[in-house]
Amino acid sequence: MAGITTLEAANTYLRDRFIPDYHATFTRPPAEPEAAFMPLGPVDLAQIFCEEEPRVVGQDNVLSFDSVRLQLAKQPGRPTCAGLRVLVRRHLDGYFTVWRGPQCLGRYTATAQFVTPRRARAPAGRDPLAGAPPRPPRAEAALAPRRRRGPRLPVGPGL
């Protein structure tokens, strides 16, 4: 309609005519002049802007994500991670992390080389994913040894 046949003429038309007409037609002053943006707070954006998949750790402490096999290191207080349900995240920088709740079980390069996690937890015990407050300390009664009540027997229909 404007007789444009070249890329340069199209760019000139956009810059000189279309964009000023568009702004004159559709822009309105804001109802409230102050900015509507809020500070983000203590949230680790690297844990949000990533690709995430749930996985179950195999019997050999290995899990895979897009044909990359990740070997979990021995975790303190746990003989094996086999059978654990975890989240594997591929971050924008190419690194992988393996999470079980707020605990980082491992950090790996794009070629599955283990790297010491930068931060297993956020500062002051906060969850790096949601900025959740730290858990309250356990009461003294909860720290006392539990009384053993006997063996746990299977329950259910026919047992």
Asked if residues 122 and 44 have their Cβ atoms less than 8 Å apart, the reply is yes
3-class SS at 23? Answer: helix
Quick check: is 98 in a domain?
A: yes
Quick check: is 86 in a domain?
A: yes
Quick check: is 72 in a domain?
A: yes
Asked if residues 54 and 14 have their Cβ atoms less than 8 Å apart, the reply is no
Max CA distance (Å), the chain: 90
Per-residue model confidence as pLDDT tens for the chain (159 residues): 878 999 999 999 999 999 999 999 999 988 888 888 888 888 888 888 999 999 999 999 999 988 899 999 888 888 899 999 999 999 999 999 999 998 999 999 998 898 875 554 545 555 444 444 555 555 555 555 556 565 666 655 655
The reported pLDDT for the residue numbered 7 is: 93
Asked if residues 55 and 63 have their Cβ atoms less than 8 Å apart, the reply is yes
**Domain total in the chain:** 1
Quick check: is 77 in a domain?
A: yes
Quick check: is 29 in a domain?
A: no
Asked if residues 43 and 130 have their Cβ atoms less than 8 Å apart, the reply is yes
In which domain, by residue range, is 81 found? 45-120
Quick check: is 151 in a domain?
A: no
Quick check: is 129 in a domain?
A: no
Quick check: is 54 in a domain?
A: yes
The reported pLDDT for the residue numbered 144 is: 57
The reported pLDDT for the residue numbered 131 is: 47
Instruction: Report d(CA 147, CA 27) in Å as an integer.
Output: 71
The reported pLDDT for the residue numbered 136 is: 55
Asked if residues 116 and 108 have their Cβ atoms less than 8 Å apart, the reply is no
